[in-house]
Structure 1
């Protein structure tokens, strides 16, 4: 069903589709292997156990996960590089993922900590994730993070991130999110210090709210850049009231978010961008900007307020992957996932 929905909603971007990659259906040499209900003593029955078994050194390690649903929180925090690969016959397609990590812990149950509610938590550098669906199924009523990312040089490739409020915490470090599905309703891509680049993703709106909430609190390197993504209505959106979205609102008074060439089929508010709250605008020092925002979800009467920047083509070109994560990105980003 998700594949059909993706096909119907992603048609305008098919010309930019990623090249097909060879199937990934068997573990690489020396990989730790995870399989549901395994009876093989050399394998692990959960990703939690496999991550706990990784050596505490600087070596590069790969974890290969066979199809299945894996319950519980995973925390990656070893010092050496880690790659987690999900089994798939088509690594370039998030709709064909077969591995799901799931929990349903709200921040309200862990002392209000966003990070501690995360289904998958990254607390180290040089991590690559491929073809994993990561869910926090708590739903409405509290922040509840699917992926909590505190790592530098982290690549998230063809992964599905599912939640409602605060799905993705991109909180610090340089990160890329390429060719994936990111779903939520309220502030569902957010963080304080993260430098993140998003390309060729489907951003699925599940309820009314803002897609991004940049928590940038000072004139620092934090930035979110979105290029060639699309915004759609999630297939299981909460329709008890009209689902109208904003591209973002400022959690911090120095919020910095740029959307480029975004195709929108979900309904955007005519303001496109939002203040934080009435009486608490937080717009004094923001840079919230878009260029070439098109599609049937963009209201004909769209009127951005005076604190929003509308870029021209030349200005937009200056905001690219290097702007977000640095000129050395080719040293750690999987280039096969870039358009």
Structure 2
């Protein structure tokens, strides 16, 4: 299922960082306090969409002001949980085009299929968990600036050479932290990806922080593991790129000098806090 743009807004609980108190023109709005022209449930919003239209089911930075504005689903509601749906941005190669933009606190995404190419998942604000899901793309396809995110049992599939993550943590005080626990990384079905042409991540900002642990990394991952941002702007002086207990061809080799290994796995409570069980659906965790 591919959606027109949908925004999940809980107007009484909008995070200030979102800097928007109303949805953009043409957006389908799902809100628990739905007003005229809005929907109180995701199903009612989806049911309102045409099943016969041949119009393109995507937005991108070809026609949108920023990454969030390109998203098929823009999620701002605190405590939002989404289960068992496919969310696609079909723009393809050539521009930033987000499938899911996560902008609210304590959000949970379970059993989803998230497909795109560049910038598929914008993991940007608050605390979030992505569990037993599928995420694909090629370029920086899991990215964001301030979110603490736990990716658990996620099938990560790459469509071409590029980078899985582009975490944009920009200072020591920025809380952003991505941990991939018991995930798999390999070529997407139907795509031929040359061995060693994909990286676990590159630093969008110079305090980028990402860990892959207890994950199966196929040969698509380069032996260096991690990449600089660009040849002219490495952004690696303060990065925190670590691994623990990974397996597979992509887990071996001489890793980048600015990365390292851990002596123990990072715990979910380190990322989401000791009270995570109050809002995380733990039945989806490994």
By the TM > 0.5 criterion, same fold? yes
Matched, 1:232 2:186: yes
Matched, 1:263 2:210: no
Return closer, same or farther for 1:268/1:116 CA change in 2, 3 Å cut-off: same
Give 2:113's match in structure 1, choosing from 154, 157, 160. Answer: 160
Return closer, same or farther for 1:109/1:279 CA change in 2, 3 Å cut-off: same
Deviations 1:160-213 (A, max 9, x none): 100000000001110000000000000000000011000011000111111000
Larger Rg: 1
Matched, 1:285 2:238: yes
Deviations 1:186-241 (A, max 9, x none): 000000001100001100011111100010001121100111001111013265x6
- State the alpha-carbon separation in 2 of the partners of residues 311 and 179 from structure 1: 24
Partner of 1:38: none
Matched, 1:51 2:4: no
Give 2:257's match in structure 1, choosing from 297, 306, 322. Answer: 306
Stretches of 4+ aligned residues off by more than 6 angstroms:
65-69
Q: Secondary structure at the match of 1:324?
A: helix
Matched, 1:147 2:125: no
Q: Secondary structure at the match of 2:126?
A: strand
TM-score normalised by L of structure 1:
0.69
Return closer, same or farther for 1:208/1:67 CA change in 2, 3 Å cut-off: same
Partner of 1:223: 177
- State the alpha-carbon separation in 2 of the partners of residues 105 and 49 from structure 1: 14
Q: Where in structure 1 are there 5+ consecutive unaligned residues?
A: 1-47, 73-101
CA contact (8 A) 2:80 2:108 kept: yes
Q: Secondary structure at the match of 1:207?
A: strand
Residues matched between the structures, number: 251
- State the alpha-carbon separation in 2 of the partners of residues 327 and 51 from structure 1: 30
- State the alpha-carbon separation in 2 of the partners of residues 71 and 191 from structure 1: 31
Partner of 1:77: none
Instruction: Please tell me the root mean square deviation across aligned C-alpha atoms, in Å.
Output: 2.5
Return closer, same or farther for 1:118/1:283 CA change in 2, 3 Å cut-off: same
Q: For residues 129-208 of structure 1, what are the structure 2 equivalents within 5 Å?
A: 129-208=82-161
Shift of 1:158: 0.4
CA contact (8 A) 2:127 2:272 kept: yes
